[in-house]
Chain A
Amino acid sequence: MSSTLLRSSTVRCALRASTSASSKKARFAGATFVRGKATLPDLPYDYGALEPAISGKIMELHHSKHHQTYVTSLNNASEQMAEAKAKEDVQTQIALQPLINFHGGGHINHTLFWENLAPTSQGGGEPPKGGLSKAINDSYGSLDAFKEKFNAALAGIQGSGWAWLVQDTQTGSVGIKTYANQDAVVGQFRPILGIDAWEHAYYLQYQNRKAEYFKAIWDVVNWKAAENRFK
């Protein structure tokens, strides 16, 4: 339980604006530039901990390179956005929006992804319980039937993207949705569980055999984290 709490707080820290770096900036740049900086969250397990489902090499590159690039690029775009706002330059603000969407989404998605995975020794692969389990059964009949539908959704993504188990904030029911590129689960839907279907998430280990990756990843899904997101 304590490890789950620790994981959640790591993620919250990463997604929340941290003020230490920005306060220094504010001193010479003016109050308009006060803002937080996104930071790369620590993985709540070792790079090799998800083997054999996901290799240590993939995890290391995925976390320390890919996720880091989203964080760096988000901070760059946010900085430019703050400047454009200070200058009331609406055109630049609009031009920056796709970058915020892409890199901000990349940061959010990966942060949630690391949290909703876990080594089998930390509960990875153990089926969901309680309200989430009931909601899945209500929508899909059984966990296995759900996984089958989810894997079909993953396989159907044309290009880079993600599949998510989401909760409809209007009805409370759960469903499967796919998102292109780094589009984030925002608005009407709440992210419960996400799987990265970009080629970088599996290629070094599975190459073109992505169906094998989609099958194997359920061994390291952290349903506890998913339960905590479900309301």
Chain B
Amino acid sequence: MSPFITNYTLPPLPYSYNALEPYISAQIMELHHDKHHQTYITNLNALLQSQAESTQASDIPTLVYLQSGIRFNAGGHINHSLFWQNLAPAQSAEAKTSAAPKLMEKIKQTWGDETKFREAFNTALLGIQGSGWGWLVKVDGGKEDRLVIMTTKDQDPVVGKGEVPIFGVDMWEHAYYLQYLNGRAAYVEKIWNVINWKTAEERYLGGREDAFKVLKASM
């Protein structure tokens, strides 16, 4: 292992595997965290090692070749790290929208009311063709910040200039299939019960560093 590169490790779940039941089963959470997320990290570490070696060897073709794998696996690590943090047990105070007063104000200002926002978010999620994610994102508008709903394909992360991911929903089939099977709409409907609005509020009031602080902790 090169001394110049970081070795990422799997961040622990901030709750137990069964804490999101009955909306997300313990079996899904365990596989999703211990297997899927771990695989992205394992692949990312290997790719970063190759990248360090190619940089040292000034091997530009290999550096370019490595990019898509790094984007995919780093994206997988970033997205899942954010996702675990932006979920919470349904009975907790964090899972109530009252935990996000400022964010809710902005949501109402942007979409009219909470129901319209959820409908717009659900429509975006169900419109994803293949694997991907749906995100609520704060975008630096220069004068004033805006809220937008974005979808990203596969493991593309929300890392654009001036973008702060507030919360994300994993729309890969592995995120729901063992429990909801082909019932994507039911999963999309139920996930609202376990959104962590406290985390969402913190990310909304903060900047990128606040949103991504979990990644620093897993180095």
State A180–B130 Cα separation when bound (angstroms): 8
| Inter-chain contact A160/B31, CB cutoff 8 Å | no
Nearest 7 Cβ contacts at the A-B interface: A159-B154, A181-B130, A199-B173, A159-B131, A160-B130, A208-B35, A65-B182
| Inter-chain contact B36/A181, CB cutoff 8 Å | no
| Inter-chain contact A159/B182, CB cutoff 8 Å | no
| Inter-chain contact A204/B130, CB cutoff 8 Å | no
B146-187 contacts to A, CB under 8 A, are 153-155, 172-174, 177-178, 181-182
| Inter-chain contact B129/A102, CB cutoff 8 Å | yes
Minimum CB–CB distance for A224 against chain B, Å: 30
A199-B181 in contact given A181-B129, A182-B129, A207-B31 (Cβ < 8 Å): no
- In this assembly, does B68 line the interface, its C-beta being within 8 Å of a C-beta of chain A? yes
- In this assembly, does B207 line the interface, its C-beta being within 8 Å of a C-beta of chain A? no
- In this assembly, does A45 line the interface, its C-beta being within 8 Å of a C-beta of chain B? no
* Chain A interface residue number, banded: 20 to 34
State A177–B177 Cα separation when bound (angstroms): 27
Contact surface of B with A, Cβ cutoff 8 Å: 31, 35-36, 39, 68, 72, 129-132, 153-155, 172-174, 177-178, 181-182
| Inter-chain contact B39/A208, CB cutoff 8 Å | yes
A64 and chain B: residue at smallest CB distance: B182
B153 and chain A: residue at smallest CB distance: A159
Minimum CB–CB distance for A227 against chain B, Å: 30
Determine the chain A residues whose CB is within 8 A of the CB of B68 once the complex forms.
158
A204-B182 in contact given A98-B129, A158-B68, A180-B130 (Cβ < 8 Å): no
A201 and chain B: residue at smallest CB distance: B173
| Inter-chain contact B174/A199, CB cutoff 8 Å | yes
| Inter-chain contact A200/B173, CB cutoff 8 Å | yes
State A42–B172 Cα separation when bound (angstroms): 28
State A198–B199 Cα separation when bound (angstroms): 32
Which of A158, A160, A204 is close to B72, meaning CB atoms less than 8 Å apart? A158
| Inter-chain contact B130/A161, CB cutoff 8 Å | yes
State A198–B173 Cα separation when bound (angstroms): 8
Minimum CB–CB distance for A90 against chain B, Å: 22
